[in-house]
Amino acid sequence: MKTEKLIPIKKVALKNNCPECFSKNGLQLVFKQKFVENSFHKSITDAISYEINCDTCNSIIYPERWTDDIERMFRYQRKAFTPRPTSRAFKNLFWGMVITGIVLIFAGIILCAQFL
């Protein structure tokens, strides 16, 4: 069971006009980072995603619709954004399998040594 989620890391309110409804309030730039979890580990990757939403008209503003001002603010905020460091945390199932494997290897070595 592998799950991948995009976790919001930073939200920035933009004071630019929305290209859809022309409202000056409501634009939000959201930076998201990819989080992967399976039976053996949890990890934060270095994959970064972003989107601009308008809370006034409830629409997603895709990059094709960005104005020059929005593009400029996006580049500035992207430079100021610091993502979470990548990490990996192993779960108990992983450690249980590793320890079981080591015990089986040592048991095999001991059994082989008794027969020689």
Taking only the tens place, the pLDDT of each residue in 74-97 is 999 999 998 999 999 999 999 999
Considering Cα of 14, then 16, then 19, then 21, what sign does the dihedral take? Answer: positive
For 99-111, what is the mean pLDDT? Answer: 93
Task: Record the pTM.
Answer: 0.75
Whether residue 115 is predicted with pLDDT greater than 90 in this model: the reply is no
Distance CA 37, CA 91 (A): 10
Residues in Cβ contact with 53 at an 8 Å cutoff, skipping those fewer than 6 apart: 27, 28, 30, 59, 60, 61
Taking only the tens place, the pLDDT of each residue in 1-35 is 788 999 999 999 998 888 888 888 889 999 999 99
What confidence score (pLDDT) does residue 52 get?
Answer: 93
